[in-house]
Amino acid sequence: MPILQTKDLTKRFGAFEANKDIDFSVEPLELRAVIGPNGAGKTTFFNVIAGTISASGGRIEFEGRDVTRVRGSRRVHLGLAKAFQTANLYAEQTVFQNCRLAALAGIQGEFAPQLIARSTRLAEVDRVAADALEQLELAGVAEVRAGDLSHGDKKRLDIAIALATRPKILLLDEPVAGMSIEESRKTDVLIRRLAQKITVLIIEHDMDLIMGLSDSITVLHQGRILAQGTPAEIRANQRVQEAYLGGHAETESLGGGR
């Protein structure tokens, strides 16, 4: 059974259709990339899946359950998390505190009464937070104020925060954007490692990273699915090439090489 499925998923902003009739399906432990030219509707798609914004039409199923009308915080409790690109980060709190708050939010749904009644749950919160930092190799900066982190560490903290909610599926929107090549390679390795244990959906413009990292790729173009396939299939797809080349000059081609 797919872990996540959408049927005829549509998102309108006024009369504009940012996502149109998207049929999408991801298997457990798959590492799926979602790519497409600027403005294709990728971020909108992730936001609708995460429940940050509501769908205008169609259906979203998570583990076979219809979550289309389930609010975002509840989806987090069910195991669906999106890294929120520093918007979710408390700059004045330490790196550890940021993860701890996320761990608390993730655990609260299931265990709120026990959490209040039993302090053992708080030890679990600390363990989950520490584990998330460990996995993103941020343990060394655990006591640093989040606002003082380098750009690369902030981006990784963003993933750690999502991970601290203990998701079954993790949505990453441009996790290496703005990183140096070195930071981006390091993050690539960390994402690969995460993907062995959880399902990962990733939006990224770095084609070298995507082609090497993902099991399969979905290409969005003007709000619709243009193509789906293995990295090799997508690289060879003429329509995909045209969508990119006909789009914005700053978008990298699919030919590979920086």
Ligand X SMILES: Nc1ncnc2c1ncn2[C@@H]1O[C@H](COP(=O)(O)OP(=O)(O)OP(=O)(O)O)[C@@H](O)[C@H]1O
> Given the complex with ligand X, which of 134 and 242 has the nearer CB atom?
242
Is 39 near ligand X (CB under 6 A)? Answer: yes
Q: How many residues bind Mg ion (CB under 5 A)?
A: 1
Question: Hey, what amino acid is at 9?
Answer: L
Binding segment for ligand X among 34-42, 84-92, 136-144, 186-194 (CB under 6 A)? Answer: 34-42
> Given the complex with Mg ion, which of 173 and 188 has the nearer CB atom?
173
Is 5 near Mg ion (CB under 5 A)? Answer: no
Is 58 near ligand X (CB under 6 A)? Answer: no
For residue 239, the minimal CB distance to ligand X (Å) is 17
Is 6 near ligand X (CB under 6 A)? Answer: no
Is 247 near ligand X (CB under 6 A)? Answer: no
Q: Considering only residues 5, 19, 43, 184, which one is a binding residue for Mg ion as defined by CB under 5 A? A: 43
Q: Residue 157 and residue 90: Cα distance in Å, rounded?
A: 11
Give the three-class secondary structure for 166: coil
> Given the complex with ligand X, which of 86 and 93 has the nearer CB atom?
86
Q: Residue 137 and residue 122: Cα distance in Å, rounded?
A: 23
If 0-12 CB within 10 Å is exposed, 13-18 middle and 19+ buried, where does residue 68 land?
Answer: middle
For 135, the token pair is: 């996995």
For residue 11, the minimal CB distance to ligand X (Å) is 8
Is 20 near ligand X (CB under 6 A)? Answer: no
For 159, the token pair is: 């993933």
If 0-12 CB within 10 Å is exposed, 13-18 middle and 19+ buried, where does residue 16 land?
Answer: exposed
Beta-carbon neighbour count of residue 47 at 10 Å? 21
Question: Hey, what amino acid is at 225?
Answer: I
Q: Residue 28 and residue 35: Cα distance in Å, rounded?
A: 20
For residue 250, the minimal CB distance to ligand X (Å) is 10
Is 152 near ligand X (CB under 6 A)? Answer: no
Which of ligand X, Mg ion, none does 114 bind, CB closer than 5 to 8 A by kind? Answer: none
Contact yes or no for 147/91 (Cβ under 8 A): yes
Nearest to 219 by CA among 198, 200, 208, 233: 233
Binding segment for ligand X among 33-41, 182-190, 193-201, 235-243 (CB under 6 A)? Answer: 33-41
Binding segment for ligand X among 39-47, 96-104, 120-128, 234-242 (CB under 6 A)? Answer: 39-47
Tell me the pairing of strands 199-203 and 31-35: parallel
> Given the complex with ligand X, which of 95 and 162 has the nearer CB atom?
162
Which one-letter DSSP state was computed for residue 40?
S
Q: Residue 95 and residue 147: Cα distance in Å, rounded?
A: 9
User: Under the rule (CB under 5 A), what is the footprint of Mg ion?
Assistant: 43
User: Under the rule (CB under 6 A), what is the footprint of ligand X?
Assistant: 13, 16, 18, 36, 38-44
